[in-house]
Amino acid sequence: MAKQVFGTSHVPLSPAVRAGDFVFISGQTPVGSGGENVGGTIEQQTRQVLDNVKAALALAGCELSDVVKTTCWLEDARDFPGFNKVYATYFASEPPARTTAESRLMADIKVEIEAIAYKPLAG
């Protein structure tokens, strides 16, 4: 099966790409529906990012429960407790494998998350 891409972006990337039974979600940032960066606390930004991950997954017919791995970048490691508290509400049962690192991010944001989902194709 050829890869499938889902969604569009103002930068050269696809929000979601299916390759076989795996769906790869590009790094999501705290961008609201109007295209603006959502400011505020790490908790507010994490909620927006995970809502964006959820929306990108939906483009490819997936849900958060299909996520098997996330990679998360925090601008400041001191934000980890607040980030982790919100993250736990999105993955309350059988959370995916995860890597979290402190990193200088590409925009003035506190968090970015990419995800890999596993959802076998019917057939």
Q: Are 97 and 69 in contact (CB under 8 A)?
A: yes
- Predicted local distance difference test score (pLDDT) of residue 12: 83
- Predicted local distance difference test score (pLDDT) of residue 26: 97
Q: How far apart are CA 78 and CA 82, in angstroms?
A: 9
Cβ atoms within 10 Å of 63's Cβ, excluding its own:
11
- Predicted local distance difference test score (pLDDT) of residue 39: 82
Q: How far apart are CA 89 and CA 96, in angstroms?
A: 13
Q: What is the pLDDT of residues 67-118, one digit of tens each?
A: 999 999 999 999 999 999 999 999 999 999 999 999 999 889 999 999 999 9
Confidence of residue 123 (pLDDT cuts 50, 70, 90): low
- Predicted local distance difference test score (pLDDT) of residue 106: 86
